[in-house]
Amino acid sequence: MRHILILICLFFVVMPRAYAEHILIAADRWCPFNCEVGAELPGFMVEVAQRVFSDHGHDVEYIEMNWSRAIQETRKGNINAIMGGFKSDAPQFIYPQEELAVLGNSFFVRKDSDWTYEGV
């Protein structure tokens, strides 16, 4: 059975703060998508968000927190967005039409190996 997990870059909860000049994005660390806060290379999704929103006059702040708490705080309106999630994590959130990245699982073996994947 082939599983392809769709990785969502950003999704926003509809709220007045979503259009503020300061955008607060939270996630748990999942490098290379979102890495250590304040690092020279904070993760490509953080960099994309900062670049896209700064071009439109917004300041993006990325903070790290437990994934469940990040979802909960976004639902409450204390955080504008979370990044690196799946639709199944928060199906009521708004998602972009196109993913920034797609995540899949693969197995590789040597050509002379007789090992085959037989399920979980």
Please report whether residue 53 resides in a domain: yes
Residue 35: which domain range?
4-104
Question: Averaged over 22-35, what is the pLDDT?
Answer: 95
Residue 42's identity, in one-letter code, is P
- pLDDT beyond 60 at 19: no
DSSP string, 72-87: HHHHHTSSSEEEEE-T
Other beta carbons within 10 angstroms of residue 40's beta carbon come to 6
Task: Please say whether the dihedral angle defined by the alpha carbons of residues 51, 52, 56 and 59, taken in this order, is positive or negative.
Answer: negative
CATH number, domain with residue 26: 3.40.190.10
Please report whether residue 13 resides in a domain: yes
CA-closest candidate to residue 80, choices 7, 6, 16, 30 = 16
Q: What's this model's pTM, rounded to 2 decimal places?
A: 0.71
Please report whether residue 116 resides in a domain: no
pLDDT confidence band for 20 (50 / 70 / 90): low
Query: Which residues, listed in sequence order, are joined to residue 74 by a DSSP beta bridge?
Result: none
Say which residue the tokens 């700064």 belong to.
Answer: 54
Number of domains in the chain: 1
Please report whether residue 78 resides in a domain: yes
| Contacts of 95 by beta carbon, 8 Å cutoff, 6+ apart | 8, 11, 87
Please report whether residue 37 resides in a domain: yes
